Amino acid sequence: MGPATCKSCRQLIFWVRTSGGKNMPINFQPDPKGNVTLARQADGSYLATVHGEYNAATLPAGTTRYTSHFANCANARRWRRRAGNGA
């Protein structure tokens, strides 16, 4: 889970795969208010689970949370339809 850099805003991100099989950029730093959790897979990659607002509020204390980079990138709209192509 090495860092990458967003081509638009230069913020550190990393790429994860969602349970739906799509690549999603995640902000590199954990966010206690985030709604994304990660599960390490046998191959060392991470599978992202995006929790709805209600589910995120009920995650156990100490759960490391992240935020999709689409939530705060100034150019998210430009990249959203091309997710996985190196935002």
Predicted pLDDT at 13: 94
Q: Which domain holds residue 58?
A: 4-79
Task: Answer yes or no: is 22 within a domain.
Answer: yes
Domains in the chain: how many in total? Answer: 1
pTM, rounded to two decimals: 0.78
Q: What is the pLDDT of residues 6-47, one digit of tens each?
A: 888 899 999 999 988 999 999 999 999 899 999 999 998 889
Distance CA(70)–CA(79), nearest Å, equals 8
Distance CA(36)–CA(24), nearest Å, equals 11
Task: Answer yes or no: is 84 within a domain.
Answer: no
Q: What is the pLDDT of residues 57-84, one digit of tens each?
A: 788 888 899 999 988 888 777 766 554 5
Distance CA(50)–CA(5), nearest Å, equals 22
Task: Answer yes or no: is 26 within a domain.
Answer: yes
Task: Answer yes or no: is 9 within a domain.
Answer: yes
Task: Answer yes or no: is 20 within a domain.
Answer: yes
